[in-house]
Amino acid sequence: MFADREDAGRRLASLLEQRGVALDVVLAIPRGGLPVGRAVADRFGVPLDVVAAKKLGAPHNPELAIGAAAGDGTVWLNDDLVARLGVDEAYLDAERERATTTAREKTETYRAGRPPLDLAGKRVAVVDDGVATGATTRACLDAVRALGAASVVLAVPVGPRDSLDALAAHADDVVCVETPAVFSAVGQAYRNFSQVNDEAAMSYLET
């Protein structure tokens, strides 16, 4: 188990080094990804920024992700699930707009007026404190690719093998410290998995 997110970040950074990964930028997914991302960025001596996405909830079941949208408008849809549920285009358009706006506002809040980093031609790691289903992670990876990154690595401390395998189609490499045979939630891998509030998360960007 990881002691906390900072410990997970240090162990993730060590694994990235062992794998010979070269990085120019680390992008953390708020909120829980920021303590992890800070440790990775510090180890590699590269800048830390954020990339955010918001899930598109299913009709009558908003907790069920039928897709996700990043703040730049990049959208990933679970086409099979959308078709199975019979979700109409009007609903998708409304959810897409809502999710994009929410993700964009979150990103702007965290940057606090700082301009986004230029990702064109850069080797980028997208970091979170773990992966469960990976819906929002897919949208984040696709957004980074759309911004011209030369390579995109997903780096997380923990996640289930099936989700990581699916995410591999959206990244050049996937690096994960722990892949439990039985996975129930990201928090199972942490002794301390207390919630990170916005103020605390934003402080990692100021270091």
Over residues 60-101, the pLDDT tens digits come to 999 999 999 999 999 999 999 999 999 999 999 999 999 999
Average pLDDT over residues 133-144: 95
Predicted model pTM: 0.94
Answer yes or no: CATH 3.40.50.2020 is held by domain 5-51+118-203: yes
According to DSSP H, which parts of the chain are helical? 5-18, 33-44, 79-85, 89-111, 135-146, 161-167, 198-203
CATH of region 53-110: 3.30.1310.20
> Residue 72: how many CB atoms within 10 A of its CB?
20
The pLDDT assigned to 42 comes to 97
In this predicted structure, the answer to whether residue 53 has a pLDDT above a threshold of 70 is yes
Give residue 68's Cα distance to chain centre: 11
CATH 3.40.50.2020 residue ranges in the chain? 5-51+118-203
Backbone angles phi, psi at 27, to 5 degrees: -115, 120
The closest alpha carbon to 135, from 179, 170, 111, 174, belongs to 170
CATH 3.30.1310.20 residue ranges in the chain? 53-110
